[in-house]
Amino acid sequence: MLFMPLVRYFVRLFGILALALVAGGAEAAPLPQIGPKPWVTILCRFANYPGTPHPKSWYEEFMLGTNGPSMDGYFRENSYDAINLSGSVVVGWFNLPGTAASYVDVFGGQTGRSYCATR
């Protein structure tokens, strides 16, 4: 299941982080993160997996849903309602030209394309 690792990746990438600014040797207060933080979720199919795992509406509900757990609910709950995903959209489905192996981590943290570029 590729979906759950992506969820963990997005939570890690876009989680709320306190950023301390150093000005003249003294630490400044962290900048507040408030308001809407819209995302674009791009639905793609690999060339060797042309099926659609869920309809677009499933991903819209996952991102912004009110009928159960959602990413918007996660951010609202963990920021005490200071951050939300209002304005987010889900677009797709798009067919990718490469196979899953050309995009997915198969070389210890790098995709095939970036692995070859660094060698």
The tens digit of pLDDT for each residue in 57-116 reads: 999 999 999 888 999 999 999 999 999 999 999 999 999 999 888 877 655 555 544 444
Kindly tell me the burial class for residue 59, based on how many C-beta atoms sit within 10 Å of its own C-beta (0-12, 13-18, 19 or more): buried
The pLDDT of residue 118: 44
Which of 53, 55, 49, 43 is CA-nearest to residue 102?
Answer: 49
Q: How many CA atoms lie within 13 A of 2 on its CB side?
A: 13
| 3-state SS assignment for residue 67 | coil
What is the value of pTM for the model shown? 0.61
